[in-house]
């Protein structure tokens, strides 16, 4: 996994609540057996005027000019501003893969769906929960200011606005550590292999019917 430390990035505002994983990456693209290449189909139904199919040349498809991410001023955005309950719906990791492949490294919103939140960390994508008022203000500033960017410092757990205001955010110490270092969860867990083995042996003895 790519480590995440500090990012000074352009912000794009996606002003909708309950953006679900089917909207982030429509299901026809889930048939891939790979992890990468989902970026061009992120938000496919909103982003293009036609219906997307896997294996198309996406550069030739008609773009929806009304979709916010298609506006020239948001090209190259690395930070996505979102509303409540972003990432609700399925557990499919294709959603964070698509966002990451598109170029986002940070998501900022008032709340995220549980599984999506969790999946994001595992893919080097940092979801940041801020108060609804803070998020509202970021939306206002971002929409009002072309080239609006934010500085996100994971070690310091801060988001710094262009006007100098510093907003602190919470993050699990364990997740933070993993993301800062780009550690692979599996490797970390396998350091406890003896403990897992001991637990398993004990469980097998007490409840053999779970091990049939």
Q: Which residue ranges make up the site for other proteins (CB under 8 A)?
A: 16-18, 20, 22-23, 26-28, 30-35, 45, 51, 54-55, 83-85, 88-93, 96, 111, 113-115, 118-119, 122-123, 172-175, 185-186, 189-190, 192-193, 195-196, 199-200, 203, 207-212
The answer to whether 105 touches 4, Cβ cutoff 8 Å, is yes
Torsion of CA 71, 15, 49, 28, to 10 degrees: 120
Q: Among residues 76 and 193, whose Cβ is nearest to other proteins?
A: 193
Q: Among residues 75 and 91, whose Cβ is nearest to other proteins?
A: 91
User: C-beta of 182: minimal distance to other proteins in Å?
Assistant: 14
User: C-beta of 186: minimal distance to other proteins in Å?
Assistant: 5
Instruction: Please classify residue 72 by burial: count the beta carbons closer than 10 Å to its beta carbon, then call 0-12 exposed, 13-18 middle and 19+ buried.
Output: exposed
Q: Among residues 115 and 180, whose Cβ is nearest to other proteins?
A: 115
User: C-beta of 147: minimal distance to other proteins in Å?
Assistant: 26
CA 130 to chain CA mean position, Å: 15
User: Distances from the Cα of 184 to the Cαs of 49, 153, 163, 181, 191, in angstroms?
Assistant: 39, 21, 36, 9, 12
Q: Among residues 146 and 185, whose Cβ is nearest to other proteins?
A: 185
CA dist 164 and 171 (Å) reads: 22
Q: Among residues 144 and 186, whose Cβ is nearest to other proteins?
A: 186
């Amino acid at each position: 996994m790519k480590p995440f430390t500090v990012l000074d990035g352009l912000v794009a505002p996606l002003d909708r609540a309950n953006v679900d994983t089917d909207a982030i990456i429509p299901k026809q693209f889930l048939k891939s057996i790979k992890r990468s290449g989902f970026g061009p189909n992120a938000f496919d139904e909103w982003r293009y005027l036609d219906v997307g199919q896997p294996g198309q040349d996406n550069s030739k498809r008609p773009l929806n000019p009304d979709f916010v991410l298609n506006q020239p001023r948001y090209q190259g955005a690395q930070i996505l501003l979102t509303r409540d309950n972003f990432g609700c719906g399925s557990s499919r990791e294709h959603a964070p893969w698509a966002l990451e492949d598109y170029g986002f490294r940070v998501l900022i919103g008032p709340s995220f769906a549980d599984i999506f939140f969790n999946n994001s960390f595992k893919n080097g994508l940092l979801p940041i929960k801020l108060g609804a008022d803070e998020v509202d203000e970021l939306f206002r500033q971002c929409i009002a200011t072309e080239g609006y960017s934010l500085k996100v410092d994971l070690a310091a757990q801060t988001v710094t606005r262009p006007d100098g205001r510093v907003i602190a955010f919470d993050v699990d110490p364990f997740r933070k550590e993993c993301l800062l270092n780009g550690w692979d969860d599996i490797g970390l867990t396998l350091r406890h292999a003896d403990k897992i083995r001991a637990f398993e042996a004990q469980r097998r003895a007490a409840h053999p019917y779970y091990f049939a």
